[in-house]
Structure 1
Amino acid sequence: MAEDEAGRRRARGELESEVMAALWAAGEPLTPGGVQAALGGDLAYNTVQTILIRLLDKDLVRRGPAGRGRGHAYWPAQDAATLAATRMRATLDERPDRRAVLQQFAAALGEDDAETLRALLAERES
């Protein structure tokens, strides 16, 4: 497992999340070197490249030629909001008691988020 700049071990999936955040923030395709630079350059190039390949295998990023040479550039397959919603639906689909999951989710929302959700549901109904 990789370590961060403070020497602590990163949580599972943390590097992938950091790479995705860098790709979303860039707003354009990045090479592995570009991702490495966006992350502060602390990770080895090969580590970044491995993470990008894993994300490609998971269908979370797309890849195309980076221009001249044999390199590739990567970009997110979905925007951050769409990916989060997809993950939320997948989690909900995995549980036998959907009502209980939704109830717990709604109970944990702050008032601003609850109001936003109510407004979105009202829009859907109209």
Structure 2
Amino acid sequence: MAGGSEDPVNDPTRRQAGELEGAVLAALWASQRPLTAPELQRALPAGLARTTVATILARLHDKGTVRRTRQGRAFAYSPVVEDPAALSAQRMHTELDRGDDRSGTLARFISRLSSDDEDLVRALLASSAEPKEQR
């Protein structure tokens, strides 16, 4: 680039979008209790500023991914869902609810599944259709 400045888009040291959110969620899932921003900062890779951690937590809270409760003068955060699979399912439901054409969205999603994933969806649907006494 002109002037010798670095290209931030192609900078290999720059974190991928969502990478820090994922690290924060992983730390929260690993914890047995809600954590404050300073506690999370200590649990995450070195070098993250407290303000960065606080910003990530605020964004996750705004998205409904974490809940916060008062702990003294600070907030303590905990995940809304119990694991990464539940988070992915929540995001999928959010996208489905966002659109006007639920059938079209599902049809396009299904059309792009691998044959292994199609088999898995069929098995899961069959399992969920069984009477609860048989499960």
TM-score (norm 2): 0.67
Q: What is the 5 A alignment of 1:75-114?
A: 75-79=78-82, 80-114=84-118
Consecutive unaligned residues in structure 1, runs of 5 or more:
none
Divergent runs of 4+, >6 A: none
Total equivalences in the alignment: 120
Deviation track 1:102-124 (CA, whole Å, cap 9, x = no partner) reads 23322333344322211111122
Q: Percent same amino acid at aligned positions? A: 48
| Cα separation, 2, equivalents of 1:22 and 1:35 | 7
Consecutive unaligned residues in structure 2, runs of 5 or more:
1-10, 131-135
Larger radius of gyration: 2
Please, which of 31, 34, 37 is the counterpart of residue 29 of structure 1?
A: 34
Q: CA RMSD in A?
A: 2.9
Q: Does 1:7 align with 2:10?
A: no
| Cα separation, 1, equivalents of 2:101 and 2:30 | 36
TM-score (norm 1): 0.70
